[in-house]
Structure 1
């Protein structure tokens, strides 16, 4: 018996030595010796617009969240504002931000930060979860986040909490189809859910014809009440004009009347925001005569400092008693390509009349706004989220990784380990072209003109090993800039991966340039974007940078070319399943 105990003890000890407990109690394999060590990252934004429009003391920049933070939704409890955005197959999911003044924002985490809440391990980057709604219910002092989960077979889900700073519940699957749900609580405590859906079977009139539905919501059991659903908007403002993609509905109550605000026109260059009114939360809803109340679709395409695709908005009363609206829009580069993705903007809203109207939301938008009365601009300071041109520095010395670093299709804790030397990334067998979790730590591209530089120590053991930087729009549209081994020599290579078409899933890979490299000292890898031009360089002495190959086009990193809903990401990447080698 003692011998058996010794054997069991030895096996358990071996298992303990082989594994360590990661965040949230997950077993995490120790990093192998050939994992790269990233000791430093510097991201520098350098957009000309911010040089041309320096801030005055009473101003702040718009967008308030730069980079891929689309589909914003906002709620308020007292002096606290909480805002969420779409995250698709990024993990953790649904970033959440806090503010007391609508100008200075801090990211307090993610709503869906556990695999039990969100499983996106085999999901295309533009799948996952998107178009969240967040609502505070004063009747039971509870926050609700509702979202469509295109992963794990969940569909529409809801989570809740008493305190967004302390995490959220496990998801509850809701018994309805469609997308873009939002929850509304009336003064009498009754709850309602509105969402986008397809027309009833056999009643679709044209491509893009959608409807808005409403359900009664059982607050005690957190479920829609079967049989209570009804269509409250068919098609959009005017069905005879064949409006497309009425979506992202929100209900507000003001002066004992109910207002339904929706996006219309699709999340592209015909995007807009429209408003309806009713005497009851279930309609009938009458459209305003002055719709749309927000759009950028009517202006010349070559306008200066272009902001476009504005829509998918949510309203909240500000600390000054005035209304404000958060919404998504884009800032394309000089070739009108959308590499940054859809970002979160804000505008004051004039609701002095019957219907709200976004102030200056129907003229070409400007890059900066006047601060609300009594507010000081503290962005870039005291931990507040930066905007404008800024520098983000990371030396991976903190035990808690910045929330801006994200994984794709799985937790970052599965492959990272913070040590005294820096961040070590465990190489997964999956490479960046596969529809699987990859060992890549991503940062959102937040400017059209930027430099991203990392310092890396790495000794690949074979041709299957590769580590470096990836500029990523999706698994079929990316650039890999990394170090691998060929024969007995180490090489740095630049690879272009591009899907043959949006429909064809086959990825065409091309080694654009490669050269031998000395890896005895730490290597610096750098990508510099000047609008649509991307340049990849390396340094072996931390001073002199050598360009690898010619300048390449950032077209495959844009939504225009690659499709989907996300902006470009820059990743610290490694794999033990490399299949790309120079000849």
Structure 2
């Protein structure tokens, strides 16, 4: 792939931007049938936060609530940058910045252009897996390497001198497998490590994987052909048939090389393990106290349960201690995973030969102590909120908040803030299509929450639909909104399970009048309601199960999303 200077616009890129602008501009010629959304309010109300108020020197973990899995972190001077998986969400790979590991601001997304992110025909759980961020002090460059399971992309790397000013076009890398990360040694050499299948004919059991290392050419942004070597076969102890050794990271400390990996698969058996070597290419010897982080062995019914802990990355904190970010889940009372995998943090004790997550093998606590001298400012001054919080958006800003994502294509292709609210141009696709859909989505970040928005919409045909959605995937979701049938306007609640849709309730309403739509959840119980006067809410469909919004039922790797949805190709039979 042709190299391109970082941050310098080319004639090609300027022409491309103009082409995109003028090709998209006509879609915003407003029609009477275009829905307008206003006054979106998301509010969390988890009991765990009400029961554990913060003291002045405390903060909550997870630090990123909702579907922010597979965290990777890097430090340059006093700045920390963190990235997470995004699958088929667009833009992709959310990136956050902090100076203290407690207070985080989202500074954008790494993959924010269609040329970088080719997920237009992907199921929601395809796309971008396990991004890893690294900094090379030799050339003062940041790198983000990831696996993009879509559009023929495979393993790619992008780079920049400033994560706040955008990233390069992707460089396709010549190797298979998943979960790559980069390591830059202090002698100027660079390496890629990643998960892969065993050599042909050597797979011993289902889930048997290996960790490979390659030399990396920084000038060409490519692995060096023939330099690959297997450095871990199976896991810590292959005689025990460990599954899915993955998410490798290499660190150098006191002249030794440490390889940290996830093991056990990203579910009930998840864990984090560590190896050491005197040479970057091995042999790597596992620590005798593995795993160094896991919740898999704990009682299933423990209070304020956090599970699935693993897929970690380490960094030195502002107080000189090490810290590890990792994924975990907070299941609801039915042990269902609706929120998805979130980003947690723990201090790491590296006073001995091997790092160990402090209290990482006992039930994880809700609160942690801030590093010395750090004030918790989350939710203030633009920092990401934490605990129970309220997110309001009146859509008056010219730029959409970075917490809003689309599926499989740019938000700007269908959503435009106006003085009256957010205008959405309805695509001919619908929520069940593995194609770009006109849905603007916010992560579900609590087990107990409510989300409401006011909608003004006058459908013209039975194919027009606008409202809200609670979505786990294209095959598992709820939609709650307005359509037309035989010259009458109806409000519908529709449940889709395994791709089969069922109308739970329909009600004739007045056409064109503003209506407030709301979804409220208390664990597994979800309730959809509406108000035509803004205050007196009426429930539709009674209490419904959130089962289809859980990973347990829907499968895949994402958490539930809640947001705004419109379609001019709706196919609802009622």
Asked if the contact 1:518/1:540 (under 8 Å) is kept, the reply is: no
> For 1:391 and 1:24, how far apart are their aligned partners in 2?
34
Match of 2:8 in 1: none
2:506 to 495, 503, 514: 514
> For 1:22 and 1:533, how far apart are their aligned partners in 2?
46
Query: How far does the alpha carbon of each residue in 1:202-245 deviate from its partner, in whole angstroms, 9 at most, with x for none?
Result: 00000000000000001111100000000000000000000000
Query: How far does the alpha carbon of each residue in 1:85-131 deviate from its partner, in whole angstroms, 9 at most, with x for none?
Result: 00000000000000000000000000000000011000000000110
Mean Cα deviation higher: 23-32 or 117-126: 23-32
1:462 pairs with 2:461: yes
Asked if the contact 2:526/2:544 (under 8 Å) is kept, the reply is: yes
Asked if the contact 2:457/2:513 (under 8 Å) is kept, the reply is: no
Query: How far does the alpha carbon of each residue in 1:264-310 deviate from its partner, in whole angstroms, 9 at most, with x for none?
Result: 00000100000000001100000000000000001111110000000
Match of 1:262 in 2: 261
Asked if the contact 1:23/1:413 (under 8 Å) is kept, the reply is: no
1:71 pairs with 2:45: no
**Displacement of 1:26:** 5.7
1:143 pairs with 2:135: no
> For 1:414 and 1:527, how far apart are their aligned partners in 2?
26
1:578 to 553, 560, 570: 570
3-state DSSP of counterpart to 1:71: coil
Match of 1:554 in 2: 546
Runs (4+) of structure 1 moved beyond 3 Å?
20-26
**Displacement of 1:27:** 2.6
Asked if the contact 1:495/1:509 (under 8 Å) is kept, the reply is: yes
Match of 1:27 in 2: 24
3-state DSSP of counterpart to 1:510: strand
| RMSD over aligned Cα atoms | 1.1
Q: 1:8-87 counterparts in 2 under 5 A?
A: 27-28=24-25, 29-30=27-28, 31-87=30-86
**Displacement of 1:32:** 2.9
Asked if the contact 2:118/2:153 (under 8 Å) is kept, the reply is: no
Q: 1:134-173 counterparts in 2 under 5 A?
A: 134-173=133-172
> For 1:223 and 1:191, how far apart are their aligned partners in 2?
10
Query: How far does the alpha carbon of each residue in 1:528-560 deviate from its partner, in whole angstroms, 9 at most, with x for none?
Result: 001000000000000100001211000000000
Q: 1:324-339 counterparts in 2 under 5 A?
A: 324-339=323-338
Unaligned segments of structure 2, at least 5 residues: 1-16
**Displacement of 1:400:** 1.1
1:215 pairs with 2:214: yes
Query: How far does the alpha carbon of each residue in 1:553-577 deviate from its partner, in whole angstroms, 9 at most, with x for none?
Result: 0000000000000000012000001
TM-score (normalizing by structure 2): 0.96
Query: How far does the alpha carbon of each residue in 1:402-431 deviate from its partner, in whole angstroms, 9 at most, with x for none?
Result: 000000000010001111111000000001
Match of 2:535 in 1: 543
1:174 pairs with 2:173: yes
Asked if the contact 2:274/2:354 (under 8 Å) is kept, the reply is: yes
Unaligned segments of structure 1, at least 5 residues: 1-19, 500-506
- CA pair 201-482 structure 1, distance change in 2 beyond 3 A: same
Asked if the contact 2:249/2:313 (under 8 Å) is kept, the reply is: yes
3-state DSSP of counterpart to 2:157: strand
1:437 pairs with 2:436: yes
> For 2:443 and 2:501, how far apart are their aligned partners in 1?
23
1:129 pairs with 2:121: no
3-state DSSP of counterpart to 1:439: strand
